[in-house]
Structure 1
Amino acid sequence: MQQALEVARRWLPAFLEGRRADEELYADEVTTWHNIGPPQPGLPYGSRSAWW
């Protein structure tokens, strides 16, 4: 649990600022919905859309 809290403390501020956190906070070879496809203008944080 302590390890998960430490990751969250480091990851969340970057997310809220609209930037990617340090690479070490992401699992290897995993793709998430927010980093697929081209940036969509007008969406928060320069979000990218995969399914909508």
Structure 2
Amino acid sequence: MQGKKVLKWSAIIFVVFFLFTRPDDAAHTVRGAIDSMYTAADSLAQFVSHLS
């Protein structure tokens, strides 16, 4: 259980450090992730619409 806690806090600290030291790169990373989710959702919607 202690290992999970250490990993979780390490990840949080890394994200905060990344946000403060490289905000432009962090914004591009978030935008890329959101764009990928949008593309995946759109592809799934097209697939489901073609089923009927």
TM-score category (smaller protein): 0.3 to 0.5
So what's the TM-score if we normalise by structure 2?
0.38
- Greater relative contact order (CA < 8 Å, ≥ 6 in sequence): 1
So what's the TM-score if we normalise by structure 1?
0.38
**Of Structure 1 and Structure 2, which has the larger fraction of its residues in helix?**
2
- The structure with more radius of gyration: 2
